[in-house]
A and B are shown apart, each in its own frame.
Chain A
């Protein structure tokens, strides 16, 4: 029995040693959780340098994945009482999930330097991670060969003519298809998030929510929807059927990067893929053609925001981390040169190297931008209601009239 007692006592001592070791750490730790695995290495390196300079231990956690990996992880951490000090969110719907936890950052020095911070009821809550944009990316070399002027790509009629012309010359231009478009369920974010936004904001003033509010109230503008359906039909008609119905991100982007498609329905985040595929042709963005009227801009906004956790023990440090990111030269170098992002703040002279990023920057500088309004609809609605409708249309199970009917019905059912 004595032996047992000794054993138990020894175990208690060992345990208490572990506990006290943890308590002894003097340097404060802040944790940042974000959803872009592709910038994890660069952000970690920056955080390490910043932490060393400020005597802080910064932990970067990057959770990516096709099915919104960050959201579930945050919920699990919240349930476990282990929320990070800084975390990323992507718009109104996810802001509402964490409303009780997100600190008001209106007084921060970087607020006046950006136009795309996340604001709600007049207060600033989110630090814009970067600026991203999408339109119709085109291969300028192929367009020149086919004799298509990119300046005509401003409305439905312009695209219809260009697509028909290029389609007739496919063999001559070495193309498999005109547009690289994906509409599988896995690629629902291309259709039901990005393409869907053409219906919501194309041709409208930046931040104009008239169409969104009408659709949320179940009032469908039949003409706008019908013009939009024409656009979707056009994209699907001239797309490679295999990529359209079953392709994934790599096959969609790959077709454009290897010169097998003249257009790509994606954004400037494909720049690293273009580089990896050694795509040397000239490329840029053109506006979407989802309306009969001409439009001259592409969809540009901050894709995600950093929020500071109100209940964090180190709110001041977390705020300083974000401020330094936006206002110091080291922060700028990390954002633009290292991570290749388009900075969301003024007063930065660095330029990303990717052609598509530069195109987005040019549109933004000219003020020819339309907002991202898809976040006003829940992820549930977009992924589980809209995405299957696009998928049916792409697969040819339903025609355009049925597509319009199903979309109309979906908006009516979505009304709260």
Chain B
């Protein structure tokens, strides 16, 4: 055997574990999932459980469902708000911890820490804060007495419950995104800043003319991460609101804060419509892919090469 073919063999052998794992956990389920979305699959031993091909029925029913339309709308809204809030907070924090304040290393760790707490637990902690801690603050301090009124509970109505989700999402994720900004800001050549300072540029001018363009590459990454993370939000949604409180949409009483991922889960496992949940997951994938591609394309244009 020649050494060339030997090398090729070892190349594929070393790659095999990864390729097999990728095929088994990504490619096969993905293809099967698309297949199941066109069937009446339920994964149960019902009396009439023969797998039947039903064409686009799952997709048509999904588009007719008021709860899905509502979920879609609030997910887009939540994603936008969350992207803005996380990136604003993360960038501000990054500027803070890269400036010459004392204990900046300590702050970095502190801001990053919430990211290490699981989303489910985080949701329950914040549920306690919104339902118990904030109202009791209202009881202690007379100025905040409006907080203790049951009508003003954050989780009591759908609009403010979405804001609560944004607050928790930002608290959880801003530290992680901050780290990416910190790395980008620290990579800015010192000469640029020094030259600007000698020319008498104000801190704001330096931020606008040097820092922002120089970290544009990081923006591509952080925007993408926050977009995908927000769009796929599930665990905090489950534990913080479970989709509640309810609201009336298109004359139907439905869950008011059920984001898309939770809607898919509930369709599949609460309503026992696994195939329809699968169809929604396929739609979810397509929408997320298109939106992310547009976002990355837009951000790429703004990047700067030195």
Residues of A participating in the B interface, judged by any CB pair closer than 8 Å: 1, 4, 66-68, 71-72, 75-76, 78-79, 96-102, 184-186, 241-242, 244-248, 251, 378-380, 383-385, 387-389, 391-392, 395, 397-398, 406, 410
The verdict on A388 contacting B253 (CB below 8 Å), with A75-B44, A79-B43, A97-B46 known, is: yes
B246: which A residues are within 8 A, CB to CB?
185, 387-389, 391-392, 395
Please, which residues of chain A bring their CB within 8 A of the CB of B13?
4
What is the bound-complex CA distance between A332 and B248, given in angstroms? 49
Q: Which of these, A100, A241, A391, contacts B47 with CB under 8 Å?
A: A100
Of listed B132, B245, B248, residue having the most chain A CB within 10 A: B245
Query: Which residue of the partner chain, among A66, A97, A184, contacts B45 with CB atoms under 8 Å?
Result: A97
Interchain CA distance A410-B156 in the complex, whole Å: 24
**Cα of A383 to Cα of B258 in the assembled complex, Å:** 13
CB–CB B245/A184 < 8 A: yes
Q: Tell me the smallest distance from the CB of B290 to a CB of chain A, in Å.
A: 28
Do the beta carbons of A67 and B238 come within 8 Å of each other?
Answer: yes
In the complex, what residue of chain A is closest to B47 when comparing beta carbons? A99
Contact B248 A397 (CB under 8 A): yes
> Does B196 reach chain A (CB closer than 8 Å)?
no
Contact A185 B150 (CB under 8 A): no
For the complex formed, measure the closest distance between the CB of B240 and the CB atoms of chain A, giving whole angstroms.
Answer: 10
The reply to whether B6 and A388 form a contact with Cβ atoms under 8 Å apart is: no
* B6 and A242 contacting across the interface, CB-CB below 8 Å: no
Interface 0/1 of B222-249, CB less than 8 Å to A: 0000000000000000100111111110
Out of A66, A100, A410, name the residue touching B46 (CB < 8 Å): A100
Residue of A nearest to B157 (CB): A395
Please choose the segment from B81-89, B175-183, B207-215, B269-277 that sits at the chain A interface, where 4 or more of its residues have CB less than 8 A away: B269-277
> Which B residues, 154 to 204, have Cβ-Cβ distances below 8 Å to chain A?
155-157
In the assembled complex, B98 has its CB within 8 A of some CB on chain A: no
B206 to chain A, nearest CB (A): 46
Closest 7 CB pairs of A and B: A185-B244, A388-B246, A241-B150, A100-B45, A380-B271, A101-B45, A388-B253
Chain B residues lying within 8 Å of A384, measured Cβ to Cβ, are 67, 254-255, 266, 270-271
Smallest Cβ-Cβ distance to B238: which chain A residue: A67
| Pick from A67, A185, A385: contact of B245, CB under 8 Å | A185
Please tell me if the beta carbons of A71 and B269 are within 8 angstroms of each other in the complex. yes
How distant is A235 from chain B, measured CB to nearest CB, in Å? 16
B10 interface hit (Cβ, 8 Å):
yes
Q: Which residues of B contact A379 (CB under 8 A)?
A: 270-272
For the complex, what is the distance from the CA of A76 to the CA of B274, rounded to whole Å?
Answer: 11
* Interface flags, B114-148, vs A, CB<8A=1, else 0: 00000000000001001110010000000000000
Highest count of chain A CB atoms <10 Å: which of B13, B253, B265? B253
| 22 CB-based A-B contacts, threshold 8 Å | A67-B238, A75-B44, A75-B269, A96-B47, A97-B45, A185-B241, A185-B245, A242-B135, A246-B131, A246-B156, A251-B132, A379-B272, A380-B272, A384-B255, A384-B270, A388-B254, A389-B246, A389-B253, A391-B253, A392-B248, A397-B248, A410-B253
Task: Contacts A379-B270, A380-B272 given; indicate if A246 touches B153 (C-beta within 8 A).
Answer: yes
With the chains together, A1 CA to B13 CA distance in Å?
13
User: Nearest Cβ in chain B — how far from A42, in angstroms?
Assistant: 26
Instruction: Kindly state the separation between the CA atoms of A62 and B47 in the bound complex, as whole angstroms.
Output: 27
Report the bound CA distance from A75 to B153 in whole Å.
37
Nearest to A244 among chain B residues (CB) is B150
The chain A residue with its CB closest to the CB of B253 is A388
Contacts of B92 in A (CB 8 A): none
The interface residues of chain A lying within 8 Å CB-to-CB of B271 are 378-380, 384
Assess whether A251 is in contact with B272, with CB atoms less than 8 Å apart: no
Q: Least Cβ distance of A405 to chain B in Å? A: 11
Most buried by B among A98, A185, A242, A385: A185
For A391, the chain B residues whose CB sits under 8 A away are 244-246, 253
In the bound complex, what is the Cα–Cα distance between A72 and B238 (angstroms)?
15
**Closest approach, in angstroms, between the C-beta of A403 and any C-beta of chain B?**
10
How far, in Å, is B50 (CB) from chain A's closest CB? 10
Please give, as numbers and ranges, the residues of chain B lying within 8 Å of A184 by CB-CB distance.
242, 244-245
Q: Is B1 an interface residue (CB 8 A)?
A: yes
B130 to A, closest residue via Cβ: A246
Q: Closest approach, in angstroms, between the C-beta of B277 and any C-beta of chain A?
A: 11
The reply to whether A248 and B127 form a contact with Cβ atoms under 8 Å apart is: yes
Q: B255: which A residues are within 8 A, CB to CB? A: 185, 384, 388
Task: Give chain A residues whose Cβ lies under 8 Å from the Cβ of B157.
Answer: 395
Across the interface, do A75 and B274 meet the contact criterion of CB distance under 8 Å? Answer: yes
Q: Smallest CB–CB gap between A186 and chain B, Å?
A: 4
B65 to chain A, nearest CB (A): 10
Shortest C-beta distance, B244 to chain A (Å), equals 3
Return the chain B residue nearest A93 by Cβ.
B272
Counting chain B CB atoms within 10 Å of each CB, which of A78, A246, A387, A392 scores highest?
A: A246
Given contacts A68-B269, A97-B45, 6 further A-B contacts (CB under 8 A): A4-B10, A78-B45, A79-B43, A99-B46, A184-B244, A387-B246
- Given known contacts A185-B255, A392-B246, A392-B253, A67 and B269 CB-to-CB distance under 8 angstroms: yes
C-alpha gap A391/B10 in the complex (Å): 62
Closest to B36 in A: A79
Q: Does B295 contact A (CB under 8 A)?
A: no
Closest to A242 in B: B150
Check if B131 sits within 8 Å of A99, measured CB to CB.
no
Chain A residues with CB under 8 A of B238? 67
- Give CA–CA (A391, B153) in the complex, Å: 15
A384 to B65, CA, bound (A): 12
B127 neighbours in A (Cβ, 8 Å):
248
A395 lies within 8 A of B156 (CB): yes
Q: B49 in the interface, Cβ–Cβ < 8 Å?
A: yes
- Closest CB of chain B to A55's CB: distance in Å? 30
Residues of B within 8 A of A75 (CB): 42-44, 269, 274
Question: What is the distance, in angstroms, from B9's C-beta to the closest C-beta of chain A?
Answer: 8
Which of chain B's residues have a CB closer than 8 A to the CB of A406?
A: 253
Distance between Cα atoms of A325 and B67 in the complex (Å)? 45
Residues of B within 8 A of A79 (CB): 43
Closest-by-CB residue of B relative to A241 is B150
- Is B44 a contact of A98 with CB atoms below 8 Å? yes
Q: How far is the CB of B214 from chain A (nearest CB, A)?
A: 45
Q: How far is the CA of A79 from the CA of B42 in the complex (A)?
A: 9
Our pick among B1, B156, B268 for the contact of A1 (Cβ within 8 Å) is: B1
- Shortest beta-carbon distance from A175 to chain B in Å: 16
